[in-house]
Structure 1
Amino acid sequence: MTLTAAIIGATALTSTAALAQAADWREEVPVFRIGILGGENEADRLREHSCQQAYLEERLGVPVELYPASDYAGVMQGLLAGQLEFAGLGSSGYAGISLQNPDAVEPLYTTMQIDGSLGYYAVMYTRADSGITSLEEMEGHSLAFADPNSTSGYLVPSYELAAEEGLVLEAFFSETGFGGGHEQAVIAVLNGQYDAGVTWTSGVGDINEGYSRGNLRSMVDKGMLDMSEIQIIWRSNLITNGPRVIRSDLPQELKDLVMGAMMQLQVADRDCFDAINDGESMGYWPINHEFYEPIINMRRELQGDR
């Protein structure tokens, strides 16, 4: 046998083995299912994520399906039950899954803000014409949280208002409730159903545009909000940006393919990257479980208090 023939033969065997290996994981995972957090307009979320669906289908070689949930818990339970392979979560959602089953999912990466930070802020807002201009003036008024599994829309505000501001929420506010999502809570405040709400924002960039990214920016971009309609009266400490997670029991080759593809997204399709990240950001950054331990401890403590 000549050297050339040997090389060709070895290459053929390697290629055959690689194809067999690739076929193996695709037989195990014939469809890649992505969970989309609820609490916002479902049609908008499906439209925003359709580019990611097409992008991953091309790179994974299997159909990709999008599953929007009616609330945060729907995505969390889908991952825990093995009905979803991949999802973007808030830090509190990841903490909730980790506390139920530490081996269920792995965090792959998070989003880096335009200032290079890996965090964002919870903010409390009121209608600009409400006459309420500070947290102190919220005493005796009503507050809309976004979702019980939202980091910025519930976990961090409720924790920091109690632990750092010294408030007993049930006594300080006349009423607290859940708006059914970040967008819905803003609309409820604008419509006078609540005096204030909490949501998330990068806290960097032009405030008149709703900052660089976050729920306020998303609503401004959609024409649902003019920042002159609201005022921000309280801001949290920096919160870790939420992770994109993948089920831990999936084949490692699939995890590597997803990670590689998504880390290239801002270069391969910048418009798609911005669409699925609610505004402008610098890129993705690899993270691990330890990055979220402060939020996990916070959620554990609140669960213990309840």
Structure 2
Amino acid sequence: MITRRNLAAAAAALAVLGLPAAAEDWKAKYPELTLAIVPQENASGTTDRYTPLADYLTQTVGVPVKLRVASDYAAVIEGQRAGNIHVAFHGPASFARAVMTGVKVEPIVTQIHETGAAGYYSVVYVLASSPYKSVADLKGKALGLVDPNSTSGNQAPRFFLKRAGYDVDKFFSKAVFTGSHENAVLALAQGTVDAAANFWNSETDSNLTRMLTKGIVKNADGAPMKQSDFRIVFKSDFLPEGPFAVLASLPEDLKAKIRQAFLDLPKADTAAFDRLSDGKDLGLTPMTLKDYQPIIDMLKANDEQRKHS
């Protein structure tokens, strides 16, 4: 007869023999995990920002977590498709594209910004010294985008500008992908493009403010620039912030451990959490696939538009 006492005795016997508990079985298959990040800034900046998180996850999850800074958004999508990337920080559009193309991933958490919202906006910047006061003034000018799978740097501006009557591929003389949010700002600052798309959380927290804090925004003459040197001429509707997402194929107990580690992060390792946003974010909140349905719908609309352009 199986009793609670029998089960306790069996567990104790396994412990004496040094056999692993069932909850640790996944370590044999996953002795190391990879955390990948979509490019928002240069590689060294991304490494500095996310290394403390990888170290925290290593300590909390119990196996080494290796940080991979992706060359572009597609590399993260394809890495998760191949099963080589176990945890990734996606933009909402790259996560949506992954789901739309059959990658089995699950969102776990995203950041709550200083505004109290788990989301942000796409904006189009021009130089304050330019004559451009609105999108209409940019007809026939050059637009700097980020990456095909960037939300704020491509998908959102295409969708919302089209809704406002401006087809990106027809209205501008050219729309060029710069490779990262930082590169888009630098292209505008140095006069390579007339306008640039980027992400914006608030007046005091955006990619631009973070770049200005690092002192890396200089004009064509090499002079340092200020926030007042830039003007926003277009702002999208509110967008859900991109998620940290795990492979759906990971063992349930491992996924639960990763999820809990993220939820605990703001208090368990405040320094690592603050490093992610230069101390601007307030916390992390759980996310589900349903939260990204509007982004999936946006990508479908953009894909359909591209077929007919």
Deviation at 1:139, TM superposition (A): 1.5
Unpaired stretches in structure 2, ≥5 consecutive residues: 218-225
Matched letter for residue 222 of structure 1: K
Q: Distance in 2 between matches of 1:109 and 1:18?
A: 33
Q: 1:8 to 1:23 in 2, by over 3 A?
A: closer
Distance 1:56 1:170, change over 3 A: closer
Aligned counterpart, 1:187: 186
**Map of 1:94 onto structure 2:** 95
* Correspondences of 1:46-61 after superposition (within 5 Å): 46-61=47-62
| 1:110–1:138 CA distance, 2 compared to 1 (3 A) | same
CA contact (8 A) 1:121 1:236 kept: yes
- Show the counterpart of 2:162: 162
Percent identity of equivalent pairs? 33
**Could you tell me how far apart the structure 2 residues matched to 1:14 and 1:115 are?**
51
**2:223 — aligned with what?**
none
1:199 corresponds in structure 2 to 198
Structure 1 position 7, deviation (Å): 9.5
Is the 1:71–1:180 contact (alpha carbons within 8 Å) kept by the matching residues of 2?
A: yes
Deviation at 1:127, TM superposition (A): 1.4
Q: Which runs of 5+ in 1 are unaligned?
A: none
Q: Which runs of 4+ in 1 moved over 3 A?
A: 5-11, 13-19
Q: Contact (CA 8 Å) 1:106, 1:288: kept in 2 or not?
A: yes
What's 1:148 paired with? 148
Hey, what's the Cα distance between the residues in 2 that align with 1:112 and 1:280? 9
TM-score normalized with structure 1 length:
0.90
TM-score for both structures, normalised by structure 2: 0.89
Give the whole-Å Cα distance in 2 for the aligned partners of 1:247 and 1:71. Answer: 19
Residues 1:106 and 1:253: Cα distance change in structure 2 (over 3 Å): same
Q: Name 2:263's counterpart in structure 1.
A: 263
> Does the 8 Å contact 2:89/2:243 carry over to 1?
yes
Matched position secondary structure for 2:216: coil
- Over aligned residues, Cα RMSD in angstroms? 2.1
Partner of 1:25: 26
Q: Deviations over 1:33-64 (max 9, x none)?
A: 01111252111111111111111111122111
Structure 1 CA distance for aligned equivalents of residues 292 and 13 of structure 2: 43
Q: CA deviation at 1:261?
A: 0.9
* Cα 1:132–1:264 shift into 2, 3 Å: same
Map 1:46-85 to 2 at 5 A: 46-85=47-86
Q: Which secondary structure does the structure 2 equivalent of 1:254 belong to? A: helix
Distance 2:134 2:274 in 1: 33
